[in-house]
Amino acid sequence: MSFHNWISLIVLFLLVDLGFYVEHRCSHRIRFLWASHSVHHSSDKMQATTAFRLSWTPILSGVFLFYLPIVWIGYDPVWVYGMVSLSLSYQFFVHTELVPHIRWLEWVINTPSAHRVHHASNPEYLDKNYGGVLLIWDHLFGSYQAERADIDMRYGLVHARSSENPFVIAYEDFWQMLKEAFGAGSVGKALARMFGPP
């Protein structure tokens, strides 16, 4: 792909953003991926530092694999993962409670309000708003949820971590998943514990 053509860059941006949406949604629906991603959701506050609460195991969980098809169709890996980095830089700014709900903007772009919904552990908000920069994928695939004035948001995991120790936060879900898989009694049940919903 030529990067002298601005259309190639726009297509790259859209493909990376779609790749992020798919990876992010899978990270909430597949336990092996959730074991890494749950670290990001372990904060009970919505602030800029939450954006930096990231997994120590992204290579192990294989999130980079979601972007490989973009490389396979001809985009240089440096450009692909550079675009991923730009997307994550934008997402730093949506981790805040300081910006009010701007609903019309959420037809296209991820906003702090939409991302607050994503981080909330209220039943009405679970598994919603996976978009990185754009929210068009959430609208297209039925995972969009607007922030509601009648619900007080609770942030963090549905079940609290057993410790504030960073090593426990980073590895507790992996350890629990492996314990359940080894004690499952059959290969099928072990695979379901690892690759079924969290």
In order along its 198 residues, the chain shows pLDDT tens digits of: 666 788 899 999 999 999 999 999 999 999 999 999 999 999 898 988 888 888 888 778 888 899 999 999 999 999 999 999 999 999 999 999 999 888 889 999 999 999 999 999 999 999 999 999 999 999 999 999 999 999 999 999 998 778 888 888 888 898 999 999 999 889 999 999 999 998
User: Could you give the CA distance from residue 25 to residue 9 in angstroms, rounded to a whole number?
Assistant: 24
Q: Would you say 17 and 134 are in contact if contact means Cβ atoms under 8 Å apart?
A: yes
Contacts of 182 (CB under 8 A, 6+ apart): 190
Q: Would you say 17 and 137 are in contact if contact means Cβ atoms under 8 Å apart?
A: yes
**Predicted structure pTM score:** 0.92
H/E run at residue 17: helix 6-29
At which residue do the structure tokens 């092996």 appear? 32
Q: Would you say 128 and 117 are in contact if contact means Cβ atoms under 8 Å apart?
A: yes
User: Could you give the CA distance from residue 54 to residue 174 in angstroms, rounded to a whole number?
Assistant: 15
Q: Would you say 129 and 147 are in contact if contact means Cβ atoms under 8 Å apart?
A: no
Spell out the alpha helix ranges (H) of 101-186: 112-119, 136-141, 166-182
The SS3 assignment for 138 reads helix
Q: Would you say 112 and 96 are in contact if contact means Cβ atoms under 8 Å apart?
A: yes
